[in-house]
Amino acid sequence: MAREFYDEMYDGSGNCRSHYREFARWLAATPAEQLARRRQEADLLFHRAGITFTLYGDEQGTERLIPFDTIPRSIPAREWKTIEQGCIQRVKALNMFLADLYHEQRILKAGIIPAEQVLANDQYQLAMQGLDLHRDLYAHIAGVDLVRDGDGTYYVLEDNLRTPSGVSYMLEDRKMMMRLFPELFAAQRIAPIDHYPSLLLATLKSASAVDDPCVVVLTPGHFNSAYFEHAFLAREMGVELVEGADLFVRDEQVFMRTTAGPRRVDVIYRRLDDAFLDPLAFNPDSMLGVPGLLSAYRAGRVVLANAIGTGVADDKSIYPYVPEMIRFYLDEAPILANVPTWQCRKPAELSHVLAHLPELVVKETQGSGGYGMLVGPTASRAEIEAFRERLKANPAAYIAQPTLSLSTCPTFVEQGVAPRHIDLRPFVLSGRETRLVPGGLTRVALREGSLVVNSSQGGGTKDTWVVED
């Protein structure tokens, strides 16, 4: 199957793109053994730093190192400007959508999104109805997943508004590159990203109306696949990392147990899903949450970042409406394009999807992490037929998209350097203003031809550069 891929480093005639020229020169001048030695050093350092990742579905709970690739993904500064503006625009619209949805519901009344699709959605939280949040912000931290098609156009693949992860890899990958190859950073202007933790802390503080609020990071605990990141961010921000049992609620106020007695908590950067936050309000079996937390939250005595109920805006069944939201709330044309999407809940679109399964990517509307999806072009006939039955049994649970020919970036593999598919997740922080650090997390599908970049599915990461060219 011949497909056109956009290569990040080389153009169609094999010439190095200008923003990669400095790197290519360095790569050609550096002996192969030296590169190999540095890569081994990187593996060792990452093990020592403890950046590991637990695989879901791995019953041993074995920790595994996420492969780090030393060839960076580079983005020219003027291209980044567009991505940045596009992400800001999108996240602003999504926050406005959430505020609208939990208050006046203007967008439903205007008939732009069918009311049933939103209100009957499991992710729509009645607990948020009519609740006023400081600055009307719901998704304080968002991850926008971007991919590039054959001609290099950026598309938003999905929005992550619940507990987007991966930012620790973005930061650690940069530290590693600067440590291994300082000469690269002296030779050109690569935009810094190390201020992310301070921006995150400022964002979290600005989410509260309290002066100098007490911020904590709430983790489900060390069995969670992203525990490393929770600990990392708490340390980098200089705030406490807590588990549910470290917090308690007294008279609608959240406190943290400390050796010096209870301490009031004003902002919780929670890396715990809605259903586990409060066993008295949601899942009663949750040992991870804080009994009474919802009552404190609804009384306006504590800020949760992100807010409860943001999942209704990043649900894949709502995704097709984001360009409309941008027009509706901001009266602007979307800067970043959506991937064309068929909604299987609509009978006409379902029959199109069923007739073209081998060409399409089919995803669960509520899935994430690359689980429960079909990549038509790489699936076996049996896999396609099995998926067809699941799709027919519950069409509303699926959407389908054309298989994008994700861009590639040269990557170290066993045979040397070869192109591998990548995506990009910039992290968007919404507080007093909406901001990003330049770049984001680049994930790379290490298996040849694979289009699934999730770390749970054998993906690795690369440092992401925004370069003045």
Least distance CB 262 / other proteins (angstroms)? 9
Min separation Cβ 130 and other proteins, Å: 9
Whose tokens are 């719901």? That residue is: 138
How far is Cα 275 from Cα 88, in angstroms, rounded to an integer?
A: 28
Q: Residue count at the site for other proteins (CB under 8 A)?
A: 27
Subset of residues 205 to 264 that bind other proteins, contact rule: CB under 8 A: 248-252
β-bridge pairing 427-430 and 441-445: unpaired
**Does 97 contact other proteins by CB under 8 A?**
no
Dist. CA 34–CA 371, nearest whole Å = 38
CB closer to other proteins, 354 vs 396:
396
Phi, psi of 410 (to 5 degrees): -55, 140
**Cα gap 42→71, rounded to integer Å:** 12
Draw the binding track, 123-152, toward other proteins (x: CB under 8 A; -: no contact): -xxxxxx-----------------------
DSSP state of 341: -
Q: What is the DSSP letter of 330?
A: I
Q: In this structure, which amino acid lies at residue 310?
A: T
Q: How far is the CB of 338 from other proteins (least distance, A)?
A: 25
**By the rule CB under 8 A, 75 interacts with other proteins:** no
Q: Is 116 in the site for other proteins (CB under 8 A)?
A: yes
Pick 282 or 465: Cβ nearer other proteins: 282
Q: Is 107 near other proteins (CB under 8 A)?
A: no
Residues 293-312 that bind other proteins (CB under 8 A): 294-295, 298-299
Q: Terminus-to-terminus CA distance in the chain, angstroms?
A: 35
Question: Closer CB to other proteins, residue 124 or residue 427?
Answer: 124
Q: What is the DSSP string of 115-142?
A: HHHHHTSTT--GGGTT---GGG-S-SEE
* Nearest residue to 307 via CA among 146, 103, 89: 103
In the complex with other proteins, the residue whose CB is nearer, 42 or 313, is 313
356 sits near other proteins (criterion: CB under 8 A) = no
Which run of H or E residues covers position 170?
helix 167-180
Helix (H, G, I), strand (E, B) or coil at 177: helix
User: Least CB distance from residue 321 to other proteins, whole Å?
Assistant: 17
Q: In this complex, which beta carbon is closest to other proteins, that of residue 53 or of residue 398?
A: 398
**Near other proteins by CB under 8 A: residue from 121, 188, 341, 378:** 121
Q: Which residues bind other proteins (CB under 8 A)?
A: 115-116, 119-122, 124-129, 248-252, 279-281, 284, 291-292, 294-295, 298-299
